[in-house]
Structure 1
Amino acid sequence: MTFDPPRLLLIDSYDSFTFNLASLFRRSIPGCCIHILKNDRLSISDLLPHLRHFSAIVVGPGPGSPDNTEDIGLVRDLWNVSEQYMLPIFGVCLGLQSLALADGAELHRLPIVKHGQISHVVHTGHSLFEGVGRVEAVRYHSLHVTLLPGGSIEPLAWADDEPENGRIVMAIEHRTWPFWAVQYHPESACTAGGGPEVVANFWRLAQQWTHKHGRKTSPWCESARRVFGPSWPHASPLHQSLRYSFPPALSVNTIVVDAPTISVTNICDILGANDEQQPFVLLDSAARPGRFSIIASMLPTSLQITYNVDDPFVGLARGTAVTYEKLGDHNIWSWLASFMYTRKAGGGRPEIPFWGGLIGLLSYEVGVCSLGVAPRSRNDPNRKHPHPDVNFAFIERSIVVDNLTGKIYVQSIIPNDDTWLVETSVLVQEQPDAVHQECLPLHDQETVSHATVILPDKDRYISNIKQAMDHLFRGNSYELCLTAHTRIQTSSKSSWNRYKTLRRTNPAPHSAFLRLSPTTFLSSSPERFLSFSRPPDAIYQLRPIKGTIRKGPDVDRAYAERALAGSPKEVAENLMIVDLIRHDLHSVVGEGVTVQQFCAVEEYETVWQLVSVIEGQSSSEKSSGWDVLRSSLPPGSMTGAPKKRSVEILQDLEESDRSLYSGVFGYWCVGGGGDWAVTIRSAFRHDDPNVQPADEKWVVGAGGAITALSDPESEWDEMVIKLQSVLRTFD
């Protein structure tokens, strides 16, 4: 005789913490299966016949208001089902508010919004809190409820927000029906005491009610599977294109050179970085804690892959010859996965991260489309951007510089390429010693020029900040990363020399110089987005930065600790992104997600930063780094949370596509590993091969996380300060 495991239906209101909640329930109710359903996918009449398959429902959090049908979907109908269909329900945040409103409660705005903040929760010690001790809970809400006196809802817990908000209800239960809910977020990384303990109590209470009322669940069947799909977690559709168990198609050949005094820029000089007519690729660890710099040695036949989000084809260029391949049944993600599937390589040196493969750029809009948000109309000239949304070179020859050990790895995945390997390794060794960077002039004569800088309109930007804050107070988002483009017009100069100036004035661990027509891209990004090691047993790591302070004579570690880790605002911003990233990672790898570091102050070349580290590892080969990258874009640190709703709001507020800014750049190695950085502290220009302008036009993006605690003038000042690290490159 076989027994079905307990099945839970999790109603997702388009939140960015849903998979964290799924993971919490999987850990707290061993052996359970969880199916996730968007709140607008089925009507209540379509859902009711299938409830017999489920042991309980979890109503997750979400943006918006419980009195708005578009925000709440079928959730409002769950509280009024007949006894025939009734089953235990646990609500979180929006779920609690919806349950309370169904009983006649009043909905109010909090005078002081609680987004990413931790509160002490006082509880009754019974029902959901039986045996539960002290609760420190993370809150993400701008709305709260006042219960109907003498109604059917009984309060179980409160937060004392005196003097700002007063006493706020944090947990409730229905006096008659099997409904329980909490206002705080039990799934948050920083909730202590009110997470697994409360969920376990819910399950105990749910089983007691089920047994008392003689409710039986029906076995899972094919019709239910067609409606709800597989339980979470399940394999990504890209997985079939990413099997790394077969023998590699290519071999990596490497020569190792000991040359601790040779500089990365000298190597680039000899490989033609200064030739504006030729492509060039450099991913540069120009400052600690970066370590490896990757330099491509491009061939005239090196393949360049381009794609725009509204195109049904991929562009393939080798030199001046360009062809177009229809995507057909593929999307861009599965097309690239299939491309790399046939180009797996082995035999490279395991101590270095890159053997060859794709290097390039992904725009912000690629991630927007992955969320199911329609891109801006490319027919609108005010919104169109000229840069490909996907722009990769496939690198067969490369030089990897280990900036820690001084070793240089000259490598190729081209068969019988020994002559190039030997000649290049000799050439590298013959280069003169590196000149100390501090001895070089800040700007050489060739790069000095007068630039016209067009900042965003200040009044418009501040107006957008105020509109963003209004969205936060209305519950539409917890945090919005508002950005704008600054445009620079300057006389034509060597882009490579501009990059070397940027490298000296703002050295960063994730710097880059990419000249991939029609784009020239300079970056001094401090923020790694995602790295993933080679399979099998790959580890996926994300390192969000929220909180930065520039070094100075009086700004030592102790000062930085107080200013960053000691700031409730900075920690709240960081926590929101940590919880969002955990959700993105859980969506791909399942339960194997941990916060390895929370809000630690790290030292960089010119700044102190507040950095968290989130890692994931799948228990099977059902996921890959490419899956994680696709599911994590656009970077949460550049959108806010919940991600989808935040992106939609930002599209209305911002004037144009973000283009490359707020996207990512990096590599996907033929060995299966990868490393991607967030495109910030960067500049890019469009190179029209048919025009030789006297002036260059560059774009620099900047912005900041808008929270309920933001001051519009201060946010404007912060955005302008962020620009300075790049603007100095243009004198």
Structure 2
Amino acid sequence: MILLIDSYDSFTNNLAQLIKDTTNQEVIIVHNDAFQPHEYESFYTQIKQHFQYIVIGPGPGHPANAEDVGIIGWLLHRIAEDSISVPVLGICLGFQSICHEFGNRVDRLTEVKHGQIYDIHPIGENKLLLGLSRFPSVRYHSLYVDLKTLNEEIEPLAFCLEENKTGLDDGEILMAVKHRKHPFYGVQYHPESICSESGRQLIVNFTEIANEVNSIYRESLAGRQNNYFEGLRGHEVHETSLVEGSKLPFQLDKITFEEIHLPESITAIDVCDHFYQKSGTADFVLLNSASIPGEWSIIGFPIPGESEVITHSVDNMDQIVLSKYKSNGKEIVDVHGHDGAWRYIANAMHDRFISRDEIKSKVQNYPQREVPFFAGYMGLISYEEGQHLVFDKIKPLCESTPDLKLVFIQRSLIFDHVTKEWFIISINDWSNWTSDITHELSNVKPMDLDKIALSVKDLALEEDVDSIKFELPSQDFYRKQFAKCQEYLHSGDSYELCLTTQSKIYLPSYINAWDIYKVLTLRKNPSPFSCFMDFDDCCLLSSSPERFVSWKDKGKDKMVELRPIKGTVRNTPDVDIAKATEILKTPKEMGENLMIVDLIRHDLYQFTENVKVTQLMTVEEYKTVFQLVSVIQGILDKRRGYYGIDILHRSLPPGSMTGAPKKRSVQLLQDIENLQNGCRGRRGIYSGVVGYWSVTDDSDWSVVIRSVFHYKQDFENTKETNVWRIGAGGAITVLSDVDGEWDEMNLKLASALSAFK
């Protein structure tokens, strides 16, 4: 058994999987602060009895800060004092801790490297890098130990060459060390990164070192591995599923699944507009794929007074509000905290699960392509519903800010953009809705685009145009925020900080959301993951290009996919795919993307050992921008008891909207972003997710970017004016330039803001 001490890094599970795959040993992960000082000695006794070796993983901070490293410094000295030597391998912060604890300075790099690939040069023949000559690996570090000033206790084993030698002797940066007396080894680089080579060989070599040490200093560990300190299990880092117990039977009494033929010119927006114009209200929710990689448009038709709506707010953490769509009644359910709200939703859906096989057995002429949605939840989840936030710093934007809003859909109309097929679907619906909507769809006509406003300002009465106001980010405040980000990036507290800003638009209250959506989508910014969600307390109009996570059947298991976007360049007549690739395939842009890829791999490894990067940093073209996109997939083994909802829950907020390491970055950003006026400590719906979750346990969620949203009880609303909010931002790294980041933020802001000007 191998012990991995985690310092709250976002790459730890990648390292654990590398060790598991290489050694075929169980890896136990504990946080560096899992034990209190009075428990240290007891913990150490169990370590030396039952673990082959210890790996001290990477993490934010400095090895001299007790809050950053917890037990690590104490443990190294305790092992050094003992006659029984426990082998230790340090990675990044672990490497720095070994150097620091034995008398070497850990200073800030002049040229910080986050997500950069460098050749590692072994020094002579050494056991740690046995069989390796020069090999490439990824550097994620702001701090370093000077190779030229190492004391006699630490022996250098490898270095890399820094091409910019400013302030660094000969440009040689220390990359690997060993303690001359104790079996302590460390590497500064990250062997577990997707772009690092020879990580497996490093673990093979260190395991051999550990076996040799154990054969000399420690009696056999065989036979003890299932009898180790049970108290450790209470401190072990591992996930449990939100779903409790076995599934209750859900009776599928009736399903209607019919293909309907509409003119090829008809779009999902045409259909929605027809129903809106007929009733004067938007009794629908829309997820509309206007371009690849989205393939489906889904129109859900909630039933007024019947369809269940779930609302949760972190302002009232311990309660979920249950109501019926467009009905005044509500029921308060106590859920005992943030995770309790997620657990309630997971089990509510679990009890409604219907297998695809059951559906197919009751559907004639099932199409060749698998349909993604039959019934289930459609809705949105805010940034604040994610992990790691300090909730005391979050202030409400209205009396109870809706952070999670889901409506259960029994009736839907979906369109396959690949085959151009339309399907009407309903479950357990005994009304005449299917025949009624079939008849009504025959009356749908394409919208006259000439009658759609060119801008939202054209929706205002002439005398009110001047009343439309914009409150945009302050560049002076942004410069201060950028400087704070750089301080944390250089201090080792973060590798990447996704700094966002909030803008406000004050519109006449009579301008309706559906008309705004048509301007945003049809006139300005068609996108793969567009949506229209208009609830009783909030409204989201999204034109997002970024899938966050999807899961769907693959044989007996579920395939999970995430598609992070990092790197953006404007799509203009003088920029083609070749030029965009030249711009985006730079160390800065690729470093940003790589960090999020490694972070997402870490998130997935919590629930599956089958994770693959199927697309790494490919340039994709959209109507308004080119983006650098990666694709990470995992096979979720149902037999381990995990579900897609577990991944969604534990992976929020999206890593592409936080940076890495995620926990420290999220908390730093809460303080940094509060420097802009009006934020109130929350991003709200922006940089959360929106999507669907089918009763077949298939799901697709996009990141809420390039979007506008509105709270209907916003403290800043007046009788005459509604405030609409837009978020925009970008990843700040040590290679970022403040003016360049300001321009990129404004480019992203403009894609949504242009609809209003």
TM (norm. structure 2) is 0.90
**1:298 maps to which residue?**
302
Residue pair 2:319, 2:335 contacting (<8 A) in 1 also: yes
> Displacement, 1:150?
5.1
> Displacement, 1:228?
2.8
- Aligned equivalents of 1:433 and 1:455: distance in 2? 36
Residue pair 2:58, 2:93 contacting (<8 A) in 1 also: yes
**1:517 maps to which residue?**
536
Residue pair 1:252, 1:345 contacting (<8 A) in 2 also: no
Distance 1:360 1:479, change over 3 A: same
Q: Which amino acid aligns with 1:95?
A: G
Matches within 5 A, 1:629-668: 629-655=648-674, 656-668=681-693
1:353-379 CA-to-partner distances (Å, cap 9, x unmatched) read 111111111111110xx33x321445x
> Displacement, 1:666?
0.7
Residue pair 1:294, 1:400 contacting (<8 A) in 2 also: yes
**2:146 maps to which residue?**
146
**1:78 maps to which residue?**
75
Residue pair 1:252, 1:355 contacting (<8 A) in 2 also: no
- Aligned equivalents of 2:714 and 2:502: distance in 1? 24
> Displacement, 1:459?
1.2
> Displacement, 1:660?
0.7
Q: Secondary structure at the match of 1:127?
A: coil
Distance 1:242 1:230, change over 3 A: farther
In the alignment, which of 15, 23, 26 is matched to residue 21 of structure 1? 15
> Displacement, 1:342?
1.6
Distance 1:587 1:228, change over 3 A: same
Q: Which amino acid aligns with 1:632?
A: S
Matched, 1:491 2:500: no
1:237-296 CA-to-partner distances (Å, cap 9, x unmatched) read 32435859x776565421111323222112112333786765531111122332211111
Identity of aligned residues (%): 39
Q: Which amino acid aligns with 1:10?
A: L
**2:498 maps to which residue?**
481
- Aligned equivalents of 1:352 and 1:575: distance in 2? 33
Matches within 5 A, 1:178-193: 178-193=183-198
Matched, 1:539 2:545: no
Distance 1:230 1:710, change over 3 A: closer
Q: Which amino acid aligns with 1:391?
A: K
Matched, 1:333 2:349: no
Q: Which amino acid aligns with 2:564?
A: P
**1:503 maps to which residue?**
521
Distance 1:225 1:618, change over 3 A: farther
- Aligned equivalents of 2:480 and 2:175: distance in 1? 34
Distance 1:546 1:243, change over 3 A: farther
Q: Secondary structure at the match of 2:481?
A: helix
- Aligned equivalents of 2:246 and 2:195: distance in 1? 34
Matches within 5 A, 1:99-178: 99-124=98-123, 125-146=125-146, 149=150, 151-164=152-165, 165=168, 166-178=171-183
- Aligned equivalents of 1:55 and 1:273: distance in 2? 70
In the alignment, which of 612, 628, 639 is matched to residue 610 of structure 1? 628
**1:37 maps to which residue?**
30
- Aligned equivalents of 1:162 and 1:475: distance in 2? 21
Matched, 1:719 2:745: yes
- Aligned equivalents of 1:60 and 1:614: distance in 2? 23
Q: Which amino acid aligns with 2:576?
A: D
1:417-454 CA-to-partner distances (Å, cap 9, x unmatched) read 4x31122123223322465x589552485367452111
- Aligned equivalents of 2:278 and 2:183: distance in 1? 70
**2:727 maps to which residue?**
701
Distance 1:711 1:241, change over 3 A: farther
Matched, 1:321 2:329: yes
Q: Which amino acid aligns with 1:705?
A: A
Residue pair 2:30, 2:236 contacting (<8 A) in 1 also: no
Gaps of 5+ in 1: 1-6
**1:456 maps to which residue?**
473
Q: Secondary structure at the match of 1:659?
A: coil
Residue pair 1:537, 1:618 contacting (<8 A) in 2 also: yes
Distance 1:241 1:455, change over 3 A: farther
Matched, 1:582 2:586: no
- Aligned equivalents of 1:242 and 1:18: distance in 2? 31
Q: Which amino acid aligns with 2:303?
A: L
Decide which moves more: 210-219 or 115-124.
Answer: 210-219
In the alignment, which of 707, 714, 722 is matched to residue 682 of structure 1? 707
Matched, 1:236 2:240: yes
Residue pair 2:46, 2:228 contacting (<8 A) in 1 also: no
In the alignment, which of 442, 456, 460 is matched to residue 454 of structure 2? 442
Q: Which amino acid aligns with 2:45?
A: P
**2:2 maps to which residue?**
8
Matched, 1:570 2:593: no
Q: Which amino acid aligns with 1:87?
A: V
**2:678 maps to which residue?**
none
Matched, 1:555 2:560: no
Q: Secondary structure at the match of 1:580?
A: helix
Decide which moves more: 334-343 or 149-158.
Answer: 149-158
Residue pair 1:293, 1:401 contacting (<8 A) in 2 also: yes
- Aligned equivalents of 1:275 and 1:714: distance in 2? 47
- Aligned equivalents of 2:57 and 2:399: distance in 1? 37
Residue pair 2:560, 2:636 contacting (<8 A) in 1 also: no
Residue pair 1:471, 1:477 contacting (<8 A) in 2 also: yes
Distance 1:108 1:328, change over 3 A: closer
1:490-519 CA-to-partner distances (Å, cap 9, x unmatched) read 223121011000002111111111001200
- Aligned equivalents of 1:595 and 1:281: distance in 2? 33
Distance 1:491 1:242, change over 3 A: farther
> Displacement, 1:386?
5.0
Residue pair 1:35, 1:230 contacting (<8 A) in 2 also: no
Residue pair 1:249, 1:342 contacting (<8 A) in 2 also: no
Q: Secondary structure at the match of 1:343?
A: coil
Residue pair 1:250, 1:345 contacting (<8 A) in 2 also: no
Residue pair 1:529, 1:635 contacting (<8 A) in 2 also: yes
Distance 1:280 1:219, change over 3 A: same
> Displacement, 1:101?
1.1
1:276-329 CA-to-partner distances (Å, cap 9, x unmatched) read 765531111122332211111121121111011243121111112111112259
- Aligned equivalents of 1:429 and 1:133: distance in 2? 70
- Aligned equivalents of 1:568 and 1:610: distance in 2? 12
Residue pair 1:285, 1:509 contacting (<8 A) in 2 also: yes
Distance 1:243 1:624, change over 3 A: farther
**2:285 maps to which residue?**
281
**1:49 maps to which residue?**
45
> Displacement, 1:560?
1.3
Residue pair 1:261, 1:434 contacting (<8 A) in 2 also: no
Gaps of 5+ in 2: 361-365, 675-680
1:654-709 CA-to-partner distances (Å, cap 9, x unmatched) read 12311111111111111101000111111111214998722221010111111111
Distance 1:111 1:395, change over 3 A: same
Q: Secondary structure at the match of 2:636?
A: coil
- Aligned equivalents of 2:478 and 2:205: distance in 1? 48
Matched, 1:262 2:266: yes
Residue pair 1:276, 1:495 contacting (<8 A) in 2 also: no
**2:351 maps to which residue?**
342
Residue pair 1:248, 1:344 contacting (<8 A) in 2 also: no
Decide which moves more: 647-656 or 419-428.
Answer: 419-428
Distance 1:182 1:174, change over 3 A: same
In the alignment, which of 614, 624, 643 is matched to residue 624 of structure 1? 643
- Aligned equivalents of 1:415 and 1:25: distance in 2? 52
Distance 1:427 1:279, change over 3 A: closer
**2:696 maps to which residue?**
671
Q: Secondary structure at the match of 1:514?
A: strand
Residue pair 1:280, 1:516 contacting (<8 A) in 2 also: no
